[in-house]
Amino acid sequence: MTKRALITGITGQDGFHLAELLKSKNYEIFGVIRGQQNPKKIIVENDLPYVNLIEADLTDTSSLNKAIKDSKPDEVYNLAAISHVGYSFKIPNLVAQVTGVGVLNLLESIRQSGRQEKIRFYQASTSEMFGGLDYNRPGKGYDENALFHPRSPYGAAKLYAHWITKNYRESYGIHASCGILFNHEGPRRGLEFVTRKISNAVARIHLGKQDHIELGNLEPKRDWGFAGDYVEGMWLMLQQEKPDDYVLATGETHSIKDFLELAFKEIGINDWKPYVRQNKAFLRPAEVDILLGNPSKAEKILGWKRKIDFPELVKIMVENDITIEKNKKD
């Protein structure tokens, strides 16, 4: 029988990859779209024509109730959030409402739908909940039992969402799982995130459209994987008999300087330094210095493993941006 999935955050990078994956598995897919005249609606309509769009908002419970009622989902994937860590310092209250309490609203809609036993729920938790502090850095990377110490309004809101999801699992028996995902990137990543910002700038420098890039702190290290690999892990979590929480990561960490190095090499530039300037506007009030994940549990229980490694990821992103920028007039 065809399964039905409801995806919040369908306009984002992960929504796109997940919809493609579920389509290949013959799901009927419903995507929550938010906001009046959302400019991303047309992109979803073009790129994912098989997705049924439903207008709703995580902060509006009645619209969520209707989304659940209309889509009658077997699986709900909550990928929606205000997800930019730096921006979350500027609108902390809104981030708490959307990224944090919004998840409670969605869980309540599921609980009160009369179909809670039939629905499996995925919550997009994040490595930002760990905070990257020295005392909290196990040698083999953060696993599901590492201590949490979020360093941003975004991380704190996600931690609330994480715990309320676990709470609904324990209190009401909802089949709810949290994927604690480390950074995952790719051609569909928004230009406001550092990897895509770099791949896009490198492409433009290559084509003579700009001569430098302005960045913030170049020292932080991240465990960067490919988003297409990670949505497979989300799906696998909901296919398990029992709900649980899993870290998805590569088990490697690289600095922004490493990313710059590989990205500029793709266009034949060995020394990236003359092309990079620091702009204090991109510094954050508190930084997460290092993130390294330990995906052993997901590898063992879900049989999940990342396929694309770091150099390949950088290459894919730069090549994609060169193609896009070549075809764009500006």
Looking at 17, 137, 204, 222, which residue binds ligand F7E (CB under 6 A)?
A: 222
Question: Which is closer to ligand F7E, CB of 65 or CB of 125?
Answer: 125
**75, 119 in Cβ contact below 8 A?**
yes
List the interface residues with ligand F7E, window 1-40 (CB under 6 A): none
Q: Is 229 in the site for ligand F7E (CB under 6 A)?
A: no
Name the minimum Å distance from CB 25 to ligand F7E.
25
Q: Is 216 in the site for ligand F7E (CB under 6 A)?
A: yes
Residue 25 makes CB contacts below 8 A (sequence gap 6+) with 3, 235
| Span of 20-28, 105-113, 120-128, 320-328 interacting with ligand F7E by CB under 6 A | 120-128
Looking at 5, 48, 85, 180, which residue binds ligand F7E (CB under 6 A)?
A: 85
**E-only strand ranges, 197-241:** 213-215, 221-222, 225-226
Question: Read out DSSP for 244-256?
Answer: -EEEE--S--EEH
Which residues on adjacent β-strands are paired with residue 167?
none
Q: Is 194 in the site for ligand F7E (CB under 6 A)?
A: yes
Q: Is 131 in the site for ligand F7E (CB under 6 A)?
A: no
- Compute the distance between CA of residue 271 and CA of residue 275 in angstroms, rounded to an integer: 9
Looking at 5, 6, 51, 215, which residue binds ligand F7E (CB under 6 A)?
A: 215
Identity of the amino acid at 13 = Q
**E-only strand ranges, the chain:** 4-8, 28-33, 52-55, 75-78, 120-126, 175-181, 184-185, 213-215, 221-222, 225-226, 245-248, 254-255, 276-278
Q: Is 92 in the site for ligand F7E (CB under 6 A)?
A: no
List the interface residues with ligand F7E, window 254-283 (CB under 6 A): 256, 282
Q: Is 197 in the site for ligand F7E (CB under 6 A)?
A: yes
| Span of 79-87, 106-114, 267-275, 305-313 interacting with ligand F7E by CB under 6 A | 79-87
**293, 251 in Cβ contact below 8 A?**
yes
∠ CA 55-61-67 to the nearest 5 degrees?
40
Name the minimum Å distance from CB 252 to ligand F7E.
15
Looking at 65, 116, 126, 253, which residue binds ligand F7E (CB under 6 A)?
A: 126
**88, 95 in Cβ contact below 8 A?**
yes
Number of residues that bind ligand F7E (CB under 6 A): 23
- Compute the distance between CA of residue 178 and CA of residue 71 in angstroms, rounded to an integer: 22
How buried is residue 208: exposed, middle or buried, by Cβ count under 10 Å (0-12/13-18/19+)?
exposed
Active-site residues, by number, are 126, 128, 154
Question: Which is closer to ligand F7E, CB of 112 or CB of 279?
Answer: 279
Name the minimum Å distance from CB 221 to ligand F7E.
8
Of 233, 223, 277, 283, the closest CA to residue 254 belongs to 223
Contact mark string toward ligand F7E, 282..321, x via CB under 6 A: x-x--xx---------------------------------
Residues in the site for ligand F7E, rule: CB under 6 A?
Answer: 83, 85-86, 126-128, 182-183, 192-195, 197, 215-217, 220, 222, 256, 282, 284, 287-288
